[in-house]
Chains A and B, each alone.
Chain A
Amino acid sequence: MFDRRWTKLIRDLTTHRLRTTLVVLSIAVGIFAVGVVMGGRGILVREFDEDFTTSTPASAQFMTEGLDAAVVRDVERRPDVRYADGRRRVAVRFTAEESPSEGTVGWPTMRLWAIPDFAAIRVQKIGRQSAASWPPGPGEIVLESGALQVEDFAIGDMITVEGPSGTRAPMRVVGFAHDINAYPAKFTSAITGFVSMESMDALDEPRDLNSMAVLFSKRDYTRGEASRMAADIRDTELASAGVRVVRTEVPEPGSHFFGDIFKAVSLLLLALGVLSLGLSAFLVVTTVSAIMAQQARQVGIMKAVGARTGQVTGMYLGLVVAYGLLAVAVALPAGLLAGRAFAEYGASVLNFRIVDYTPPLWVFVLEVGVGVLIPVAAAMVPIALGTKTPVAHALAATGISSSFGKGLIDRALGTLRGLPRPVALSLRNTFLRKGRLLLTLTTLALASAVVMSVLSARASMLKTVDDMSSWWRYDAQAILAQPAPASLVEREAESVDGVTAVETWVESQASLSRPDGTENESLFAIGLPPKTGFITPSVVAGRWLREGEADAVVVNTDITKEEKWIEPGDTIRLDIRGTEKEWKVVGIVTGQLMGPVAYMPSEALDSAMAAEGAVGRVLVQTSEHTAEAQRRAADQLDRKLDGAGVVVADTLTQTKQAEDIAGQFGILVVFLVIMASLLALVGVIGLIGTMSINVLESVREIGVMRATGAGHAAIFSIFITEGVVVALMAWAIGAVVSWPLSVFLVNALGVAMSLPLSYAFSYVGVLAWLAGVVLIAVLASIVPAWNASRVSVRDAIAYE
């Protein structure tokens, strides 16, 4: 037969349903948060890794001129190369119209890959998703599925594609494929498409290869080794075959280009998980303390009839374990579902596929641990204190606290005059149970601090975007498909309506020779007038360029991040279009999410690359700076250049660029908001729990108040005011704590993203949270206050 101790335990659970629900919810919200965060993170990390590894990412990628299949085969014969795959990459523009009019104004850009044999791809594999025809035949195109995030494509759609030569070709969308190595369309505004080599004919493009992805035989190698191997391939097989390498990309081995953002997100999630755990523990301590206070008399009775401390401790620990198991039963499936949704969202943002939505086993173990062990650990102290209370004390408990008035705060509150009596009572009630108040305040203040820090982190990201945008002072710009004479481009640009200033830039890929003999191949060189009016460089070391400097260069922090040895005053060797030249670093400027860039005077770069006055980019400033005016200027610039025979690869407006930069931060902002919401939820549940338990514990006091004439409204307002007082205190403490916490968070994010963020404290966020927390306090107190106002005198005095 069931021991009466456990009968009591079960009855306690089932009789006090409101209390059981609150305790279970308090624990469940912690388990839920851990399930969502850790589960979601576990799925994201594993599946991202799995998807990325399955794609067989390239050890090195070469952008070339004049590559053919025979050279690719030669490269593959090298003992240090396992696979080498050749493709053709073309930057095109497209429109969803079947018979578009002249000009490509407003046409989006597309990275088009012509693949000789889809079945033979071994490096940077493409996963077929939904394709009516695979591989795509002539005149057919398969789009990378990220395209669906920016436009509503469907199988069977006809699009018109214009190649770099200006030739147009209609193409039918025959399906969608997944390529984890393609930049998501969401961030670059450029979608990716795959066609057969035959489709190049229709665009008047040669069937030559111009891109080679190589996988090294060696499994473990450093980036330095990879750089050396890539340089060796370039200087032997490719050089001897007369292939000119325009750009070599050697990624960090095993690292995806989203690695930094992923790291930042992962760090955030981990921080959230740990915070949720901490807050849940506080909640549990608060709740169990309250239960023990409420059960003091029963503990006394049991001890009076012969229960030993160990037996009573066992009973209440059993009760806590039961609460924990119930919470696990509620939160585990909910966390599983939410974690799955969370991972799904992450995967859609970062453009990868999730095959298996099962969180790692350790997440389940952690959830059960959080649900059972943390409550048990948290309950130890309150249970020990509760069960050690002398029997006489426990039995003497009347339900009305008489300890108020002994402390400093109590006395201070007692001297407050002129307050309406119900408000004075609420204030003093708040401080009646100081231990519980401390725990509730800690929980809610921590949650508040995190919410406000997150809002400051968001403000900091927006400020960073603003700072980045204010670096640029153009209204519209056009990137040319092929370099064109500066004089022609400038003339056309000046004829655009409303243009007040024009500037052209010389551009080229470049590679930097390191002191150890290896090379950094992924640099971009920009030649611009030193007195440019189109950017406001923020110099972090040294100075900006000066007129007439033939060998001066300013590098950005994206270069020095990898090439830590570079300092102002150093001389560096740059290979620009096959010509090596020494340059003197005069300064370092902040990066602008453009990757590693070296700035030099236009004439200097022009002469180094023998460009003979040909430019790659034109920027204009206009009299109006609205998004609409900028778009109009960009469209007209596009049209004018097109009319002059200059093929434009892409146009950009400053507003659009700022949106793109903000979009990249957007992922983090969304994750931050999810994080803040979860923690706010923990805080809210905590406050509801505390308020409800306060009501349960104050039933006798309520009875006395009712007996002396307090109406429903008076009792109701006393408890609502108490909730608001707690929330205001938590807000004030949280606001103070949020300052150092947000500085830490913003710095940590900056480190994780390798991009120092500009710090901004969100005063608006602090005020918004004040409104939010007061509203939450009122909402959290409504049900308990309502219950309090309904207590009858008879019930209150008889309350056990």
Chain B
Amino acid sequence: MTPEDAPLPLIALDAVVKTYDTGEVPFTALREVNLHVHTGEFVGLIGKSGSGKTTLVNMITGIDRPTSGAVVVDGTPIHELSENELALWRGRTIGVVFQFFQLLPTLTTIENVMLPMDFANVIPSGERFDRAMHLLEQVEMADQAHKLPSALSGGQQQRVAIARALANDPPVIAADEPTGNLDSKTAEAVFTLFEELVERHKTIIMVTHDNDLAGRVRRALHVSDGEIVEERIHRARVGA
């Protein structure tokens, strides 16, 4: 297969630089990063604290912007979008999962899952409840649908957060240390959920510093000092 015949990447980062103005000396979090991710890939970003992996995932989700370079996701050059366009795009294209779950404390489990549908307005309003319930069933949280986040354990909250990330059926899920705050058993359950999503052709970018988990993703990228310094492909575990 020639390069011309290769499928276009779903996510393409081209010479992305991110510099933070932290006072006297600017801090460069990403240095000319190039990355292509294809549909259905399960990519793990690993590295030490402060290595730039969260900044990298924030470039992909549009939560942060590059200082220079280009970020194209699903054909959209998101570095050129306004904040508003980004929000609209994000609601339809990307589901974000955070380390600290970030559920809205005043909304119930199912309401948290329905909220992105309300914002994006892609799913017809009459179908939102059923869809949210279906997603909660997938993450085995349907029986907790009407509870407030404060009544859930960390693992349960993260399951809900994953259901919320899937609310508008986005092609990409970006997760920043999704198991960082969970015990090993719960972390395993969440990771299994991600593996199931990849089997359903979702593309997942996951930041983690757990070497065991990093060993189970399809493609592990080691980030250090703002650069991707090593890439490992694991063929055995996931049949993508």
Spell out A's residues near B (CB within 8 Å).
Answer: 1, 3-5, 7-8, 11-12, 15, 297-298, 301-311, 388, 390-392, 395, 800
Q: B88–A304 contact, CB under 8 A?
A: no
Q: Which residue of A lies closest to B93 (CB)?
A: A306
Q: Cα distance A204–B20 when bound, in Å? A: 104
* Chain A CB within 8 A of B107 CB: yes
Given A7-B111, A311-B119, A306:B90 Cβ within 8 A: yes
Q: B115–A305 contact, CB under 8 A?
A: yes
Query: B88 contacts which chain A residues (CB < 8 A)?
Result: 306, 308
Q: B118–A392 contact, CB under 8 A?
A: no
Q: A8–B64 contact, CB under 8 A?
A: no
Of the stretches B36-44, B45-53, B96-104, B184-192, the one at the interface is B96-104
Q: A395–B63 contact, CB under 8 A?
A: yes
Query: B128 contacts which chain A residues (CB < 8 A)?
Result: 1
Spell out B's residues near A (CB within 8 Å).
Answer: 58, 61-64, 83-84, 87-88, 90-92, 95-96, 98, 102-107, 111-112, 114-116, 118-120, 125, 128-129, 164-165, 167-168
Tell me the smallest distance from the CB of B181 to a CB of chain A, in Å: 12
Query: B103 contacts which chain A residues (CB < 8 A)?
Result: 301
Given A302-B104, A306-B119, A4:B63 Cβ within 8 A: no
Q: Which residue of B lies closest to A12 (CB)?
A: B106
Given A302-B104, A306-B120, A5:B115 Cβ within 8 A: yes
Q: A307–B129 contact, CB under 8 A?
A: no
Q: Which residue of A lies closest to B113 (CB)?
A: A4
Q: Which residue of B lies closest to A298 (CB)?
A: B104
User: Binding site of B, secondary structure by majority: helix, strand, loop or mixed?
Assistant: helix
Q: Which residue of B lies closest to A392 (CB)?
A: B64
Q: A392–B111 contact, CB under 8 A?
A: no
Tell me the smallest distance from the CB of B72 to a CB of chain A, in Å: 19
Q: B119–A297 contact, CB under 8 A?
A: no
Q: Please indicate which of the listed interface residues B83, B106, B114 has the most CB atoms of chain A within 10 Å of its own CB.
A: B106
Given A304-B63, A309-B83, A309-B84, A800:B105 Cβ within 8 A: yes
Q: B168–A306 contact, CB under 8 A?
A: yes
Query: B95 contacts which chain A residues (CB < 8 A)?
Result: 305
Q: Cα distance A302–B118 when bound, in Å? A: 11
Q: Which residue of B lies closest to A388 (CB)?
A: B83
Q: Please indicate which of the listed interface residues A1, A12, A311 has the most CB atoms of chain B within 10 Å of its own CB.
A: A311
Residue in B61, B91, B107 whose beta carbon sits within 8 Å of that of A8 in the complex: B107
Given A12-B106, A297-B102, A301-B102, A4:B118 Cβ within 8 A: yes
Query: A3 contacts which chain B residues (CB < 8 A)?
Result: 118
Tell me the smallest distance from the CB of A764 to a CB of chain B, in Å: 51
Q: A392–B63 contact, CB under 8 A?
A: yes
Q: B116–A306 contact, CB under 8 A?
A: yes
Selected A-B contacts with CB under 8 Å, 10 pairs: A3-B118, A8-B111, A11-B107, A301-B103, A302-B115, A303-B83, A304-B98, A306-B168, A308-B84, A391-B64
Tell me the smallest distance from the CB of A697 to a CB of chain B, in Å: 16
Q: Cα distance A391–B94 when bound, in Å? A: 14
Q: B106–A305 contact, CB under 8 A?
A: no
Q: Cα distance A302–B102 when bound, in Å? A: 10
Q: B91–A306 contact, CB under 8 A?
A: yes
Q: Cα distance A1–B127 when bound, in Å? A: 11
Q: B125–A1 contact, CB under 8 A?
A: yes
Q: Cα distance A164–B115 when bound, in Å? A: 89
Q: Cα distance A15–B61 when bound, in Å? A: 31
Chain A to chain B: the 9 pairs with minimum beta-carbon distance, closest first: A306-B91, A11-B106, A305-B116, A392-B64, A306-B119, A308-B87, A4-B115, A307-B119, A391-B63
Query: B61 contacts which chain A residues (CB < 8 A)?
Result: 304
Q: A305–B119 contact, CB under 8 A?
A: yes
Query: A297 contacts which chain B residues (CB < 8 A)?
Result: 102
Q: Cα distance A759–B146 when bound, in Å? A: 68
Q: Cα distance A303–B118 when bound, in Å? A: 12
Residue in A8, A11, A12, A306 whose beta carbon sits within 8 Å of that of B87 in the complex: A306
Q: Cα distance A297–B104 when bound, in Å? A: 9
Tell me the smallest distance from the CB of A294 to a CB of chain B, in Å: 12
Given A306-B116, A392-B64, A1:B102 Cβ within 8 A: no
Q: Which residue of A lies closest to B111 (CB)?
A: A4
Given A392-B58, A392-B63, A395-B98, A308:B107 Cβ within 8 A: no
